[in-house]
Amino acid sequence: MRSLLVAVSGGVDSAVALQWLKREGRAVHAVHLRLWPGGDRRAGGSPEALRAAQEVAAAAGVPFEVLDDAEGFERTVADPFVAAYLDGETPNPCVVCNRRRFALLARRAAELGLDGVASGHYARVVAHAGRPYAARAADLAKDQSYVLWALGEESLARLVLPLGDVTKDEVRAAARRLGLPAAARPESQEVCFAAEGYRRFLASRGVRPRRGRFVDRRGRTLGEHDGQWRFTVGQRRGIDVPGGPWYVLGRRAAENEVVVGRAGELVAGEVVVRDVVDRGIGDAPGRGPGTGGETGGAPAGGGEPLTVQLRYRSPAVPVRALEARPGGRVLVRLERPFSAAAPGQSAVFYRGARVVGGGVLDAPETSQAR
């Protein structure tokens, strides 16, 4: 791909990616996505972020434009984020955001007659059996393949990720050598539109405190709280209940209850996943997980075993078996127990470094029932 639309946030990663692509001799066109026009400098789409992106494009001497999707972002990312917390889940908005923005970038690249899209994500695009897949970055500490699992094959086929084979330290060093203003800029926030924390964001969207109960798994009242949305599975702080330490085991949104217990009760040997995208979770792409009964973690034809990552910065866990459940859900049996799997987070499946599918962690029946 000789011509690329390059997403530029104003940070060091996209600045270096843009410079490297230009030095390779590619025709590059910079674009800044205005997704959340907040005043906080850490918010994506803020005036400061826009100025920084303009600096990046000017330093590279390339065309620059702003693509405004604030209305669409609010409807498809921010509003569902609030709804998920109120429904008792801990959402991962970066997955939904990446799927939307890469589709927008691909559409704009096509309008400009460009070959593809590039960004400063720490991940790779690899080919396997003639198909493109997202894959882990060389810098595992910065790897972002986890939040790219929902990208479709069409998006991946036109995607270039220049930072997939380098480390963050190498990128910072390159930015200093190039004299880029972005070299000293701090890391961006994981949730760009909730830079002050999700509780303050929910409050800004009209979510008000509401008294509810801390309960154990048998439904016995242990204390009170100001709203189940203020907690997530595995949380220890903020549980005002005598006799601790207590940990959040689950949330019952309809009753505004937070189920608490001991640390050992967080550990589970299986999880349930919904909204599954399968690109090789089973023995072959397109074969549904659990088809024909239980499916072990290793493909029938040999190759790399199946693993699943259940939290953004957690190590992947080997999969022992998959089993179909009603409603298109999949029961994932793990080779070793995992602690504090939070409903609403992503379950991302890998074969080696390659992303072969994903889905959303569903609430286990044990946390919903009294």
- Residue 38's pLDDT is 66
- Identify whether 94 is a catalytic site residue: no
- Residue 293's pLDDT is 38
Residue 300 CA to residue 283 CA, distance in Å, equals 6
Domain termination site, one of 155, 170, 194:
194
**Residue 344 maps to which CATH number?**
2.40.30.10
What phi and psi values does residue 32 have, to the nearest 5 degrees?
-110, 125
Strand bridging mode 267-278 / 354-361: antiparallel
- Residue 289's pLDDT is 64
Q: Identify whether 320 is part of a domain.
A: yes
Q: Are residues 237 and 279 in the same domain?
A: no
In terms of residue numbers, what domain contains 243?
209-261
Domain termination site, one of 167, 194, 221:
194
Instruction: Exactly one of 166, 192, 259, 308 is catalytic; name it.
Output: 192
- Residue 370's pLDDT is 31
User: Which residue carries 């639309």 as its tokens?
Assistant: 5
Q: Are residues 52 and 162 in the same domain?
A: yes
Residue 223 CA to residue 280 CA, distance in Å, equals 46
Q: Identify whether 203 is part of a domain.
A: no
Q: Tens digit of pLDDT per residue, the chain (370 long)?
A: 899 999 999 899 999 999 999 999 999 999 999 988 765 555 566 788 889 899 999 999 999 999 999 999 999 999 999 999 999 999 999 999 999 999 999 999 999 999 999 999 999 999 999 999 999 999 999 999 999 999 999 999 999 999 999 999 999 999 999 998 877 777 765 678 887 889 999 999 999 999 999 999 999 999 999 999 999 999 999 999 999 899 999 999 999 999 999 999 999 999 999 999 999 998 544 455 654 334 444 444 447 899 999 999 899 999 999 999 999 999 999 999 999 999 999 999 999 999 999 999 998 754 343 3
Q: Are residues 154 and 169 in the same domain?
A: yes
Q: Identify whether 327 is part of a domain.
A: yes
Q: Are residues 145 and 226 in the same domain?
A: no
**Residue 168 maps to which CATH number?**
3.40.50.620
Q: Are residues 87 and 149 in the same domain?
A: yes
**Residue 238 maps to which CATH number?**
2.30.30.280
At 53, the amino acid letter reads: A
Instruction: Exactly one of 12, 97, 159, 331 is catalytic; name it.
Output: 97
Say if residues 333 and 307 touch (Cβ distance below 8 Å). Answer: no
Q: Which of 1, 109, 100 is nearest to 63 (CA)?
A: 109
Q: Identify whether 199 is part of a domain.
A: no
- Residue 35's pLDDT is 87
Count: domains in the chain: 3
Strand bridging mode 317-324 / 295-296: antiparallel
- Residue 190's pLDDT is 62
Q: Are residues 17 and 125 in the same domain?
A: yes
Cα distances from 215 to residues 190, 220, 222, in angstroms, run 31, 5, 5
Q: Are residues 131 and 221 in the same domain?
A: no
Q: Identify whether 200 is part of a domain.
A: no
Q: Are residues 138 and 222 in the same domain?
A: no
